[in-house]
Structure 1
Amino acid sequence: MKRSRSRSLLALLAPLSVVATVAGCGLLSDDGGDPGSGRTFTVAAAGDILMHPELVDQARKDAKRTGKGVAGLDFGPMMAGIKPVISKADLAICHFEPVMGTPNGPFEGFPDFQVPPQTAKTIKGLGYDTCSTASNHTLDHGYQGVKRTLDALDAAGVKHTGSFRTRKEALTPLVMDVKGVKVAQISFAYGFNEPHRLPKDKPWLANQQDLGRIKAAEQQARKAGAEVVILSLHWGHEHEPSPTATQLSFARQIARSTGINLVIGHHAHVVQPMEKVDGTWVAYGLGNQIARHEAPTGLTEEGVIAWFTFTEHGKGHWEVRPRFEPTMLQIPPDAENVTDGGKAAYGDDDVRDYRLLDVAAALRDDRGLTDRQRSRLRLAFERTEGTLYNRGAAQDGLKPLTPMP
């Protein structure tokens, strides 16, 4: 653990050129616990990490500039914008959706992802402590794909759960010491893409969603000493900002029949609401942390870092206070949409590189933003905020981590 530290209306908008300095992210001063209460710690969680081929190309381009990275790939500059927030959390949780390949490739995009293992080093460098790895893509390359992914995370010093290399590993709960509190993470996915199935001789290879299995995993974690249990859940419908009826129903089953303290959702690739369900906070979908879909919609470039402050009030009773920080991936124009097939000079408002931005920090710093750029960032913030609130979360205490300037 790190040491304690405090279908889219806008798809037609021209891409942005935003160069934002994000150091000193201006977090709210009330993000800590009540000093009159018991133990307290913070959790940051973000959306899907899905390195499409265009993002691998950007990492190759950045490596030539920085002279850093491994095997000609440097993912650091592309994702650096979120580090000031992620690195401040006592526990930072990522969702790693695809399968890792070997450092020199070959790399693949949809439908069977195989991405550079160099991403693991960047994930660690941003401040992430652990990643959920159960997703519909977990079995894209069978057992060897799972093993490569987990080996790469291990080599980078990032913990993980949701997929496993051995039966023993699958039966061993991930319990972490966070400021003296034993915190467990469990990870499940609704299923796996066809034709991939769990091997008959390795049914433990990845966790498939089932209320009984989730309850059993929580109980195992409690027996291993966990005082807090966080569930990462890969569920819902892709590109739908509203949770499905199945998500809503399943969230209520979890809240009413388990002792899970927090549910973090993934898979939709767009932000979905947060809701307090019978006392348990559920983030139905955090959108994309970073991804580059074949047809960006505006929504798929937007995501959110969810920030939770856990405070103990009496033994075993944890209050969870939620906050959010909108993010946005700025993307260069497609070559076919640029004069001369991408060979012409970029205009003043054109983005030259893929960069993941902390939206509030970019607006606050406002370094040379045009009116159009500023408007796009404000829209990302307001749309994310509106989506998060649309099941009543504001009345239950959800607020921005950093207010929009």
Structure 2
Amino acid sequence: MSNYPLSYKLSWLPRFLKPSLAGDVQGFAPMAGTMMDRAPRRTVRLAFVGDISAVANRRAPDCDPAIKTLLGASDLVIGNCESPVVDKPSAVLGTRLGTHHAMSEGFLGDALAAVGIARERLVLSLANNHVLDQGVAGFDETVAALARLGIRTIGLADKGPVQPVEVGPLTVGFAAFTLWRNAGEDLFAGRVSMTGDIARRRGDGFDLLCAVPHWDWEFRHFPRVETRTLARRLAGQGVGLIAGHHAHVVQPVERIGDTIVAYGLGDFLGTALVRQPWPGRIGGILVADISADAETRGSVVSYRMHPFVRLRAGDHERLAPVEGLEGRMRDKVERRLSAVFP
């Protein structure tokens, strides 16, 4: 079955109710930074969003125009498809309780339109612990549904550890993998990538190598030592940009040489229970500009984390930038962000 240790399972509910700020807080980078002394003439913009699910939404979210503009201006948006895309869930009880995820093709299409993400500019990772929540048939249906929608996917085992995506004049290699699974290894093997062994080789044809790992422990704002060690290994293998998922809360950014690591982007659309405590409603959009000039081709020029909050609005969520909040909620969110980002 799943590969979670017992201590992890026992801590899930307490950490869900009260996300933790414990851990090593040293060595992290600011929320935004510049990596090059001189700006290139031409750049490509990548935007990474967090986990996407319909668990907390019966219909498409409302989205603040600022967030919609930010995503619409990006050359490519990369996210994690946290729920199988099926017309009719097979795990009926688990889906009702929220332990098994599912969303319809119609919901996903409406949600993308609501937040300003064009399908042809979207890449979704299927390398996560929930991808087989509706069984093998649900996994196959998900792959087919995303293909019908014209959405490119990464993290599938049969496509190899790194998948190329053309972004303007650049070829970006995406390596998506999960360290966690909610079902047996026999079901994941051959379907979902579960390895972080993605060493870059000379002549591989990628201008930039990005990792999209489903790692770390949930509801902890600071990554574990093991996660940071893996990040250093990936950077040593030639990965220039890492955007992680699974924690369901925002986590810090680290600079390892010329590599930028965003350990956790939180949820983009709610993946947990509808009445989720407020720290878990903070998400982040990592925007990175990549050089397309011949001399610095594929180098990260600059990055910025754009935090936002998912607010309840009846049967769905409303995505709002932090500066659009008021009163006590804004104070709480800003204090939490200042604790996570130096």
Q: Please, what TM-score do these two structures have when normalized by structure 1?
A: 0.66
Residue 172 of structure 2 aligns with which residue?
Answer: 183
Q: Is the 8 A contact 1:290 1:356 kept in 2?
A: no
1:83 Cα shift? 1.9
> Higher relative contact order by CA 8 Å / sep ≥ 6: 1 or 2?
2
Distance change >3 Å, CA 374–CA 292, structure 1 → 2: farther
Quote the Cα distance in structure 1 between the aligned partners of 2:241 and 2:208.
9
Residue 28 of structure 2 aligns with which residue?
Answer: none
* CA deviation map 1:161-195 (0-9, x unaligned): 1136xx3xx239532222211122221000311x4
Residue 340 of structure 2 aligns with which residue?
Answer: 387
Task: Tell me which moved more, 302-311 or 286-295.
Answer: 286-295
Q: Is the 8 A contact 2:82 2:271 kept in 1?
A: no
Residue 130 of structure 2 aligns with which residue?
Answer: 137
1:87 aligns with 2:72: yes
1:5-404 to structure 2, matched below 5 A, reads 37-52=40-55, 54-56=56-58, 59=59, 75=60, 77-79=61-63, 82-102=67-87, 108=95, 110-122=98-110, 124-125=112-113, 126-127=116-117, 129-163=122-156, 167=158, 170-171=159-160, 173-193=162-182, 195-199=183-187, 203-210=189-196, 212=197, 214-215=198-199, 218-219=200-201, 223=204, 225-256=205-236, 258-291=237-270, 293-294=272-273, 296-312=276-292, 314-316=295-297, 318-331=299-312, 352=314, 354-360=316-322, 362-363=324-325, 373-389=326-342
> Over alpha carbons, which structure has the higher Rg?
1
Distance change >3 Å, CA 255–CA 115, structure 1 → 2: same
Moved over 4 A (4+): 33-36, 103-107
Task: Tell me which moved more, 116-125 or 81-90.
Answer: 116-125
Q: Is the 8 A contact 2:84 2:130 kept in 1?
A: yes
SS of match in other structure, 2:280: coil
Identity %: 23
Quote the Cα distance in structure 1 between the aligned partners of 2:176 and 2:241.
12
Aligned length: 302
* CA deviation map 1:62-88 (0-9, x unaligned): xxxxxxxxxxxxx2x435653222111
Q: Is the 8 A contact 2:243 2:263 kept in 1?
A: yes
Distance change >3 Å, CA 120–CA 310, structure 1 → 2: same
Distance change >3 Å, CA 50–CA 219, structure 1 → 2: farther
Q: Which has the higher strand share?
A: 2
Quote the Cα distance in structure 2 between the aligned partners of 1:318 and 1:292.
33
* CA deviation map 1:264-310 (0-9, x unaligned): 01001111111101221000001111215335221111111111111
1:114 Cα shift? 2.3
Quote the Cα distance in structure 1 between the aligned partners of 2:63 and 2:185.
32
Coordinate RMSD, CA, aligned: 3.1
Q: Is the 8 A contact 2:178 2:213 kept in 1?
A: yes
Q: Is the 8 A contact 2:176 2:213 kept in 1?
A: yes
Q: Please, what TM-score do these two structures have when normalized by structure 2?
A: 0.77
Residue 29 of structure 2 aligns with which residue?
Answer: none
Quote the Cα distance in structure 2 between the aligned partners of 1:196 and 1:105.
17
* CA deviation map 1:320-362 (0-9, x unaligned): 411121111112xxxxxxxxxxxxxxxxxxx545333231462
Quote the Cα distance in structure 2 between the aligned partners of 1:106 and 1:127.
29
Quote the Cα distance in structure 1 between the aligned partners of 2:111 and 2:38.
32
Give structure 2 stretches of 5+ with no counterpart.
Answer: 1-13, 19-32
Quote the Cα distance in structure 2 between the aligned partners of 1:119 and 1:327.
21
1:116 Cα shift? 1.6
- Amino acid of the structure 2 residue aligned with 1:131: L
Q: Is the 8 A contact 1:131 1:160 kept in 2?
A: yes
Give structure 1 stretches of 5+ with no counterpart.
Answer: 1-6, 12-29, 60-74, 332-350, 364-372, 390-405
Distance change >3 Å, CA 36–CA 79, structure 1 → 2: closer
Residue 23 of structure 2 aligns with which residue?
Answer: none
